[in-house]
Amino acid sequence: MADSTTKTVGVDLAKQVFAICETNHSGHVIRRLELRRDAFCHYLSQLPAASVVAMEACSGAHHWARLCQRHGLIPKLIAAQLVTPFRKSARNKNDRNDAEAIATAARQGNMRFVAVKDVDQQARLCWHRVREGYKVESLAISNRLRGLLAEFGLAIAQSDSALQRALADDRLRAQLPSTLLPLIDDLHTHWQQVKQRIAAIDRQVAAHAKADARSVRAQQLVGVGPLTADALVASIGNAHEFTNGRQLAAWLGLTPTQHSSGGKAHLGGISCRCDNYLRTLLIQGARSCQQQAKLANPQTASAEQIWIKPLASRLPFGKVLVAIANKHARQLWAMLRRGEDYDSEAWLQHPMVQRSRKKAIAA
């Protein structure tokens, strides 16, 4: 039975003005507030210990969640799409209604919450976010250079090395107007600087991964490099918020969507939910696994490579990659959750395999 003093506070986060909705143990609204940033900090310090403070998992949410923990409060972060059904009116969306919907959603017994990241996790993820930004910028600059050269009849192949050679080719430069060359050189220099920054971030991420035992353990899996390992550990830590590997795979969007009813299961494409970045890294890593499985000697192939070969013969290329990434997600969950090194023969300990062996021996 809920304590009569239990309070659930729904907060609609913002840059300056925060909308707050306080509800009692039965879910009734007690009070509504709108506080500026400094006043909100003071408000949190005055709340009774063990009060639940619910927020959408948006920019700055983890910072406020850590502040709540320091004040003895219980922060609960909810994905925005899970709050939407609890808004009373879809047409009347405002900060007050959002705060009430957040408080209502937090009180649901089967609600899924986002784990609060610590400062180290967020700092490590910042390197990955900035790296992705530099990648987009690098691609934009290279496309801009190709577009400018195409205006003067110079079509360059779609690779960075081809573009580099073209920009250094004096014969091609002679075909360009002299007034355009300073602009091309300036863009080229900027492109090189961005690529150097990406390389510097890669070195820093590799150092992070090398210094973390969990990242080192994750890299024992084929197809998981420093970038993937560091991003995985920074995102999910020890994976304690997931009950099993299937939950992690579903969180990564590596499971099919469903539209099932009446006992009939209808499966669609992968859901592509949640963390697009991690899902992309795992799928890219699955490419190397498939290539190695294709070239592996049948006599020395690992259990995973033996599993991949027939899979690749009957399924499209994209589905094979998702299947491998799904398998890797489950393996990574087990390694992080249990603190174990990668064991390619772990499947032999599965109860179904043991049962089959016992039947074979008995026969």
Closest residue by Cα to residue 56 from 21, 95, 8, 10: 10
**The pLDDT value given to residue 3:** 54
What is the Cα–Cα distance from 112 to 102, expressed in whole angstroms? 13
pLDDT at residue 18 greater than cutoff 90: yes
DSSP 8-state code for residue 87 = S
Domains in the chain with CATH codes: 8-114 (3.30.420.140), 119-211 (no CATH), 214-259+266-351 (no CATH)
**pLDDT over 90, % of the chain:** 74
User: pLDDT tens-digit profile of 289-303?
Assistant: 999 999 988 888 888
Of 177, 143, 182, nearest to 159 by C-alpha is: 143
Distances (CA, A) of 136 to 103, 132, 235, 356: 37, 6, 22, 51
Q: What is residue 264's predicted lDDT score, i.e. its pLDDT? A: 84
What pLDDT shows up at residue 216? Answer: 95
CB atoms within 10 A of CB 147: 10
Beta 17-23 vs 267-270: how paired, if at all?
Answer: unpaired
On average, the pLDDT of the chain sits at 90
**Separation in Å, CA 292 to CA 42, 287, 296:** 58, 9, 6
Q: 3-state class of 123 per DSSP? A: helix
Backbone angles phi, psi at 168, to 5 degrees: -95, -5
pLDDT of residue 123: 94
Residue-wise pLDDT for 89-136, tens only, equals 878 889 999 999 999 999 998 999 999 999 999 999 999 999 999 999
For the chain, state the CA radius of gyration: 26
Site of tokens 């306080």: 22
Compute the average pLDDT of residues 299-323.
91
> For residue 26, is pLDDT > 90?
no
Q: Strands 74-78 and 8-12, how do they pair?
A: unpaired
Say if residue 309's pLDDT is above 70.
yes
**pLDDT for 34:** 95
262 or 51, higher pLDDT: 51
Q: What per-residue string of b and e applies to 51-89 under the rule 16 or more CB within 10 Å gives b?
A: bbbbbbbeeebbebbebbeeeebebbbbbeebbeebbee
For residues 167 and 4, which has the higher predicted lDDT (pLDDT)? Answer: 167
Query: Which range has the worst mean pLDDT, 62-76, 175-189, 254-268, 271-285?
Result: 254-268
Which positions ≥6 away from 251 have C-beta within 8 Å? Answer: 242, 273, 274, 275
Cα gap 270→96, rounded to integer Å: 35
In terms of average pLDDT, the best of 50-59, 262-271, 295-304 is 50-59
pLDDT of residue 278: 94
Q: Which of 155, 326, 351, 157 is nearest to 255 (CA)?
A: 326
Give the pTM: 0.86
2 falls in which pLDDT band (50, 70, 90)?
very low
Cβ atoms of residues 198 and 134 within 8 Å:
yes
**What CA–CA distances, in Å, run from 341 to 68, 337, 346?**
35, 11, 11
Cβ-Cβ contacts under 8 Å for 34 (sequence gap 6 or more) = 17, 18, 19, 20, 95
- Cα separation, 178 vs 150, in Å, equals 16
**pLDDT (0 to 100) of residue 272:** 79
Q: How many CA atoms lie within 13 A of 201 on its CB side?
A: 22
pLDDT at 145: 96
HEC assignment per residue over 142-196: HHHHHHHHHCCCCCCCCCHHHHHHHHHCHHHHHCCCCCCHHHHHHHHHHHHHHHH
- Per-residue model confidence (pLDDT) at position 1: 41
Mean pLDDT, rounded, for 324-351 = 86
* pLDDT at residue 269 tops 80: yes
**Closest to 222 in 3D by CA, of 288, 277, 318, 317:** 288
CB neighbours (10 Å) of residue 108? 11
Report the first-to-last Cα separation within the chain, whole angstroms: 55
